[in-house]
Amino acid sequence: MPNIADNLNHIHHRIQHITKNVGRNPNDITILAVSKGQPAQAIRNAYELGHRHFGENYLQEALDKQQQLSDLTDICWHFIGPVQSNKTRKVAESFDWVHTVDRIKIAERLNTLRQSHQKPLNICLQVNINEEESKSGLLAREVENMAFSIMALPHLNLRGLMAIPQSSLSEAELHKSFAAITQLLSKLRNSSPQLATLDTLSMGMSADLEVAIAEGATMIRIGTAIFGPRQFPQKTPNS
């Protein structure tokens, strides 16, 4: 059984170290604990250590765990897997954030299905920053139009951008990819007063969080470095 307390401490140390080196405030970085493939008890353990933000990729798996953890009322659930249009209702109702919006049709469905007594659903647009054929996400040039469309949807709250760079980039290329996302967000913020409040760059995982933070990440998505190896078999991210 991995020691989640030690692992979380270690991540906090890595964040301290890199933010000091690049002159950022560690309080500006939110750790999203990616709990796909992990049992509900692992989430409960992290919660009891004070952790609140959890990310899940697969809807049914997430709903099962949410049910087992329904006593944790201030937990914050992030959906970070591909959103299938026939599953938008549950995603809209059961999560606080969705990081993987890249189609207007999905955004409109989430907007319609979000319950009016709930706070608006926080949204990040997923950007296919390396323009990979096989990967979901918007191309950089499509982001602005999509952002304006989403702004018009009252039950969604556009927060920023999310990206998963191509695997096996050199460190220099990785820096460039994350920097391009940061630049894209800054362009968006300057394009309209209504977009000036966008505050989220969801980028960086266990292996590359330092590079992501150096380039401006505000939310890092960390799975194995917190929970250890996944306990039930899963597809790889973004498949």
- Judged by the rule CB under 6 A, the positions of this chain that interact with ligand PLP are 34, 36, 57, 80, 164, 205-206, 221-225, 237
Beta bridge partners of 221: 32
Between 153 and 205, CB nearer to ligand PLP: 205
User: Minimum CB separation from ligand PLP for residue 22, in Å?
Assistant: 21
User: Minimum CB separation from ligand PLP for residue 112, in Å?
Assistant: 25
User: Minimum CB separation from ligand PLP for residue 238, in Å?
Assistant: 6
Between 94 and 224, CB nearer to ligand PLP: 224
Residue 201 vs residues 85, 163, 219: alpha-carbon distances, Å: 24, 8, 6
Position of minimal CB gap to ligand PLP: 223
Between 56 and 75, CB nearer to ligand PLP: 56
Between 184 and 222, CB nearer to ligand PLP: 222
Query: SS3 string of 153-180?
Result: CCCEEEEEEEECCCCCCCHHHHHHHHHH
**Contacts of 90 by beta carbon, 8 Å cutoff, 6+ apart:** 59, 63
d(C-alpha 27, C-alpha 226), whole Å = 19
131 phi/psi in degrees, rounded to 5: 50, 50
Between 34 and 161, CB nearer to ligand PLP: 34
User: Minimum CB separation from ligand PLP for residue 205, in Å?
Assistant: 4
